[in-house]
Each structure stands twice: as C-alpha cells, then as structure tokens.
Structure 1
C-alpha cells in the first residue's frame, strides 16, 4: 500500500495557519476601508470596488504561476516567495499615499495571496498524511478567524485606522516566512500522478470529456461561491449604512458574517463524519441561496440573513476541494486551474456590485448576489449527480 508523504513539520503547519489568518485579515479589511479610500482619494464606489478586483486579478495570476514555479524551485522556495509578496503587499497597502499605489500594492498582495492559498491547500491534501483533509478545513477555518478579527478590531479603534491591520499582515507573514524551513522541498503537487495515468491510453482519450466536465463544474461552483462570499464581505457595510446602521454597527455586523463562516468551517470537520462531502456542499449551496432570499427583505433582520449565509458559505470551499481531489481530477496543474478560475468571481463580483449600487442603489445587492448563488446551486447538484453516476458505472465495470 502506497503511503502519502509527510511534507510538514509542526512549525510549518503553524506557519500555514498564520498565513491563512492573514489572508482573512487582508480580504475583510478592504471592504471596511472603502469609505476611507473614497474620502482620502476622492473615488466612487465602482472605482473603490475595482481595487479589490485588482487584488483578486493578482491572486489569479499567483495561483496559475505557482505550479510552474514548483517544478524548478520546489515547495519551500515557492511558498516563501509567495509569503514575501503577500506580506510586502500588505505593508505597502498600509502606507499607500495615492490611489495608484493602492492598486499596485493590492496587486502585489494578490499575487502572494493566490500562491499561498493554492499551495497550502494542495500541499496539506497530499502532504499531511491522513490528517490532510481535516487540516484543510482547519486552515480555511483560520482564514475565517482573520476575517472576524479585522472587523472586530476596527469596530473598536475606527475604520479609518485600517492601515494597522494591513501592517499586521506584513509582520505576521515575516514570522511565517521563517517557519517554512520545516516544509520539505519535494515531492511537489505537480509530481503527483493523475488518475488517468493508471489507465490505458485508449481509455484516457475516450474519457477526456468527463474530466473536462467535472473541472468545469467545479469552476462554476467556485466562481459563484467566491462571488457571493466576497460580495457580502465587501459591500455589507455599505448596504447596512443605507439602512441607517452606524459605521461601528455595520463593522460589527460584518464581523458576525465572517464569524459565522468560521463556525461553518470548523463545524464541517465534524459533520463530514456523519454525512457525505457532496451532500454537505449541495446543502450549503442551497442554504446560501435561501439566506440571500431572506436578505432581500431589506429589514434590519438582513444582518441575521447575512450571518446565516456565512454559516452556509463556510463549508463550501474546503470541502469542495476535498471533493475535487477525490474525484481524481485535482492532480498536477488542474487543481490550480480550478482555484484560479474560482477567483474570477472574487475579482469581478465586488466591482460588479459596486457598479450596480452606483446606478440602482444598495438595496439591489441581495438580489444581485442571489443570481450569482444560483450558479453554485446548479453546479453542485450537477456534480453530485454526474459523479455519482460515474462512480456507479465504474463499480459495474
């Protein structure tokens, strides 16, 4: 029986959790900083949302570039460079003195964010032994911890001091950089054989379309899921402000949304012992969409609707990736293609919602996100049905 390699020592795993926390800090701080950006640089809602789009575009490039760097440089060096970009971009955001500098800094941070997010997730799946799937849930739970910490702190000290959180991202990544000495350089994820490598050439060619359909399904799932996740995280403060919430109350409410997502992710680790991962993902997508219908009431109860939505959003990403890995289509560069494509939703949703808010008002935000969430529902149900039939067919053969 072939055993999985153990690529991490304890310090490196701790470093991964720190890095994932800083990703949460970075993403959740941007939405709260939008009012300060608008006041400081004289920009509109749509332009402010474009800053997060630049960061997410950088993340897409980072995800796609990381696998190509793995082969010549190995796990450790690729991870360290990504951490430097993430931390350096965070520090630059903290002290940016012009809007173009904000955009450049956000892009640099995004490059590192994409690299570490993809590397940590995939390396834990293939390089942490039997603990891998559980550690993926934990790592993305720590991402959620970061998303809770930032709004909570800024609700106390004031959102105009957003630069403190960005600076903390730089300092924390400096610590994580040195822990990566405990990450083995090889084997890398791109060295892992694909499921089709064990099949005959004729069988592989005849079933190529199945793999393409599965990958496409996960791309749709993640584009939609990230669109909703980042859309709420970025624009909930603006939406609540138009419902006469104070800036502090809106920040606390946004913190509650991210905290609910944390609960969803840590809770999912226990739930997978009782229900299948495909069922968990499908139910989470349905709950996400249903919560957005509730948020369309525009009443103060919309705060609770967004919190429930965060609870359902939590399990989708980490458990969807485990589902993808078990499907046999996550090896080599395919994993990075899915993760990169998923960030399209994260890149364009905040910008799109900003444009809609500018022309139609913030009250249309829940409906816009619901339309995005429908894509995740359809994709998850389609994947569950398709992969189940494929598994049944394989069993029959």
Structure 2
C-alpha cells in the first residue's frame, strides 16, 4: 500500500511511504516511548549513582524535551532542503547516538549531552510522523495517527516494566535497547521517498480557516496552552509517580510496575479512541478526555490510598488527547504552512518545565504535593479546550467531514 502525502502546492499526491516504511516509523515511535518513560523509574537509582537530588534528577528529561523542541522547529526548514528519507534517517540516528551515549558513558555530563542529542531526533521524528500520518491516510488519518502514538505508548509501557524486572540499577540497558531499536528502524527507511517539500504550505488545513488573523491567533494560542498543560500532566505523572508510590510505602518493584500500568492505560486510551474518531467531534473527544484526566488526578489528590488506580484512569484519559488534538488542529484549517511544527514544538515545552519544577517542589514539600500541582495544570487543559472549541464552533471539526 502506498500512503499519499498531500500539500497545498501539489495538485497531484506524491508517493512518500511504502507499508514497510510505515512499520519502521511505528517501530521508531515505540523507541521514542521507551526513551521517554525510562527516566521516571530510573530517578532513584540516578540519584544514588550520581549523588544528585530530586531537582537535578528531573533535568535529563527536561533537557531532552528542550532538544525535542529544537528538533520539531527544524522540520519545516529541513523539509525544503532535504528529502523525507534523509530527514527520517537523520532523526533516527540522532536518537540512537543520544541513547547510546547515555547508556555507555558513566558520567552525569554524558547523560545530559546524550539527552540533548536524543531530544533533537525525538522532536523531529515525532513531528514528521504525526504530520505525515494525518495527511497521508485520508479518511483513516485520525485513526492512523492514534496507531502511531499507540506504538509510542507501547514503548512507554515496556520501559518501566523491563526496569521492574531487571532492577532499576540496570537503567543503562534501557537506553541501549532504544539505540538498537532506532538502528533497526533505519534499515526500513528505503521505502520512503527522498523528495523535498516545496516551499509553501507543507501542512494542509481542513478546508480553510474561518475568521481573520485575530481568530487564528486566538485558536493557535488555545492549542498551545492545551498542549503545554497536557504534556505537563503526562510527563509529570510519568516521571514522579514511582517516587510518590515509594514514599507511600510501596516497594520499588511495585512502584515501577504501577508506572508501567499508567503508560499502558495511555495506550489503551488511544486504541479505544480509534472507533470514535469518525463518529464524534474532535473537540468532544479532547474535552471528555481532559475532564476525565482532571477528575482522576483530583481523586489522587484527596484519596492518597487510591493513587495507583487514580493514575491508571488518568493515563486512560490522557491517551487520546495528543493525537486527536493534532487532527483537530489540522482539520480546523489553522495549521497552515509551518504552523503545525511550531505548535508541536511549543507543546513540548510542557515537558521542559513541569518535571524539574515538580522535582524541586517535591524536594521542598514532599511527594504529597504531586497530585495537587498536577491537578492545577490539568484544569488549565480543560479550560483551554473549552475556549478553543467555542472559538472553532461551526468549523470543520469532525474527521468524517474533514477527510
């Protein structure tokens, strides 16, 4: 099967992916998930190995997220200068080199350096896969981007599960696995066209935006706030849940396994959303998920004994927000030109700010502060979703209509 990628500049679709290349991209997304979720369970051991506190322990994920922002921002420029295959291969290799550096060099500076390099590849890869999967599958675009991010979620499940089995003292092994997986994925990129993207609007809208510049700014700001807050909740829980559970008296194995369950719930949430993408408005799916996420975090805040189950439900609700929200943005007609990459890059800022801030907060006030703080960020997600949906009311917000 050939996947078609459409641009506003090209009336005829260009052949970009073969099925094998699509599988390779999904494998790479699983590697991204492994990389993303390996830090949280490893934090206690990182503190022991390098003699650092909670605030410093959250720094690698924050630095990796900073690198991912730069990687996402580079996509529009790279699309005009290099071919698709070259960009994908470069992103995969950056991920492999960064992860390999973290896994084999026993120095804190090497961990931070590797995190930056891996982040560059992560941001580029995530943006490219999301963009091309949405635009290249026609009516199945919304479902396929959930599949791709479901693979990412699968990686986030395996990382803490493997660390629970191996022991967190073996955390370098996880990064070596990521490097190996990315190198294997590189071998499947021969089926990607090496064409360049013509200068112009590389991301089509959903039939054209409604309203003028002020409306577009309002809508894009809404999406940015929604994503920054959503990523903050997602990475905040994923990074610090093991620490919170161990403070509550759970064994390290139990805490790490529970975090694996949180990421698994995210995968299930994305899979469960697939049949709804052609039946319900994107705004309805995102809003329902955001409210459910907030209610689950509220339970974790007021009922400490329910932390494990509350975060499992939170993961289930978080799952559909990112991929479904991306399709919502595309079909709104406001993701013209380089806007899509800019929105994704800005969204990743939530993962730069929240984990280290939570680390310093937990260091000062204890892990009891985790759920109340995440709840505030989650409420911002709900508010941004409501305001954005109101502004886009009457626009092309269903996948069936837009695709």
TM-score normalized by structure 1? 0.93
Q: Which residue of the partner structure matches residue 364 of structure 2?
A: 359
Distance 1:351 1:180 in 2: 35
Q: Which residue of the partner structure matches residue 3 of structure 2?
A: none
Distance 2:45 2:385 in 1: 38
Distance 2:205 2:145 in 1: 25
Corresponding residue to 2:135 among 126, 133, 140: 126
* Inter-CA distance 302–196: structure 2 relative to 1 (3 Å threshold): closer
Q: Which residue of the partner structure matches residue 222 of structure 2?
A: 217
Matched, 1:38 2:51: no
* Inter-CA distance 131–4: structure 2 relative to 1 (3 Å threshold): farther
Q: Which residue of the partner structure matches residue 23 of structure 1?
A: 32
SS of 2:389's equivalent in the other structure is helix
Q: Deviations over 1:175-210 (max 9, x none)?
A: 1112112112236386546779998xxx99x81121
Q: Deviations over 1:102-147 (max 9, x none)?
A: 1001111101000000011101122234432221010000011001
1:93-172 paired onto structure 2 within 5 Å? 93-172=102-181
* Inter-CA distance 43–139: structure 2 relative to 1 (3 Å threshold): same
Q: Which residue of the partner structure matches residue 86 of structure 2?
A: 77
Q: Do the aligned partners of 2:61 and 2:355 also contact (CA within 8 Å) in 1?
A: yes
Write 1 or 2 for the structure with the bigger share of helix: 1
Query: For structure 1, which runs of at least 5 residues remain unmatched after alignment?
Result: 393-397
Distance 1:164 1:189 in 2: 41
Distance 1:156 1:93 in 2: 20
1:1-397 paired onto structure 2 within 5 Å? 4-186=13-195, 188=197, 191-192=200-201, 207-389=212-394
Query: For structure 2, which runs of at least 5 residues remain unmatched after alignment?
Result: 1-5, 398-403
Query: Matched residue pairs, number?
Result: 388
Distance 1:373 1:170 in 2: 33
Q: CA shift at 1:154, angstroms? A: 1.2
Q: Do the aligned partners of 1:239 and 1:363 also contact (CA within 8 Å) in 2?
A: yes
